[in-house]
Amino acid sequence: MFELDIEMLKEQGLQLVDSAKKTAQDLADKGKNKLDLLNQQARLSKAQRQLGALVYSLHKAGEENPALVEKYINAVAEVEKAIEEIKANMTDDERAEVEAQETAETEEAPAEEPAAEKTVESEETIEEEPVHLRGETKICPVCKAEVDGDAMFCNHCGAQL
């Protein structure tokens, strides 16, 4: 009888260990999914900023470089695809949680003033604030041009950095 109780307790203990292990693995997977998603969202934001800076600098210089712009657009699309793949691998609960968080962040973002309602003061503030589009720089290995340190492609020759 005593041996039977020990065996039963041993079996229950093993079941509890397996259950705890599965729960810990599920939590780790959930955390990894969220971390991967946050990393890809940061990459997307960075790629979108770079695309905007490129388009702005080309426009300001009166230049066109459709091939380079297309490379940046493709880079943005690749990151968006990676984000969708991560979301597809999430559970329904995780996906709902992420979507709720994205909705809350969108609602918290301040709305822009309509153009007709902008005051002269707000326009002057915009003009007075310096725009920092570039941070540290690096040298393109192909054409040796100086490019933004965060750039994914050279804005002179289009080489992938």
The HSE-up count of residue 44 (CA atoms within 13 Å, CB side) is 14
- Note the pLDDT tens digit of each residue in 23-70: 888 888 888 888 999 999 999 999 999 999 999 988 988 889 999 999
CA dihedral 34, 38, 39, 43 (to 10 degrees): 150
Task: State both tokens at 9.
Answer: 């307790």
Rounded Cα distance, 30 and 8, in Å:
33
- For residue 101, the surrounding DSSP H or E stretch is helix 92-108
**Phi/psi at 160 (nearest 5 deg)?**
-75, 130
Q: What is the mean pLDDT of residues 71-100?
A: 90
This prediction has a pTM of: 0.56
Q: Work out the pLDDT band at 109, boundaries 50, 70, 90.
A: low
Q: What is the pLDDT of residue 1?
A: 65
3-state helix, strand, coil in the chain (%, to 5): 70, 5, 25
Rounded Cα distance, 117 and 150, in Å:
36
Q: Work out the pLDDT band at 104, boundaries 50, 70, 90.
A: confident
Q: What is the pLDDT of residue 28?
A: 83
Name the 3-class secondary structure at 109.
coil
Task: State both tokens at 160.
Answer: 């992938």
- Note the pLDDT tens digit of each residue in 113-157: 444 443 434 333 333 333 444 457 889 899 998 888 877 788 778
